[in-house]
């Protein structure tokens, strides 16, 4: 994110996100699909969505020119 403008500079998509994003989100990724209430009727379904998308909730760590973060499936990512 550009701290001056608030614009998104780049994004990272997990493999799970690539496989399941269209199930939950519209093409522009900004809004849920129209039937989201049927897909996620309760907290258990919400957790299932996070698991399928392999969501990233961790705070990233900067290490030199590398950024490290983990997804909720236990995968540790390191991007340069």
**Burial per residue of 20-51, b for 16 or more beta-carbon CB atoms within 10 angstroms, e otherwise:** bbeebbeeeeeeeeeeeeeebeeeeeeeebee
**Tokens matching residue 12:** 């990272």
pTM here is 0.70
pLDDT in tens, 43-57: 999 999 988 999 888
C-alpha to C-alpha distance for 46 and 12, rounded to whole angstroms: 21
pLDDT of 73 reads 86
Give mean pLDDT, residues 6-23: 88
Distance, C-alpha 63 to centroid of its chain: 22
pLDDT in tens, 18-43: 999 999 999 888 788 999 999 999 99
CB 15 within 8 A of CB 73: no
């Amino acid at each position: 994110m550009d701290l001056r403008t608030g614009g998104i500079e780049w994004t990272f998509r997990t493999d799970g996100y690539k496989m399941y994003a269209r199930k939950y989100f519209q093409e522009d990724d900004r809004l849920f699909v129209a039937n989201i209430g049927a897909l996620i009727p309760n907290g258990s379904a919400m957790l299932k969505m996070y698991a399928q998308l392999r969501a990233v909730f961790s705070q990233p760590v900067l290490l030199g020119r590398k950024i490290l973060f983990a997804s909720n499936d236990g995968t540790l990512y390191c991007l340069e």
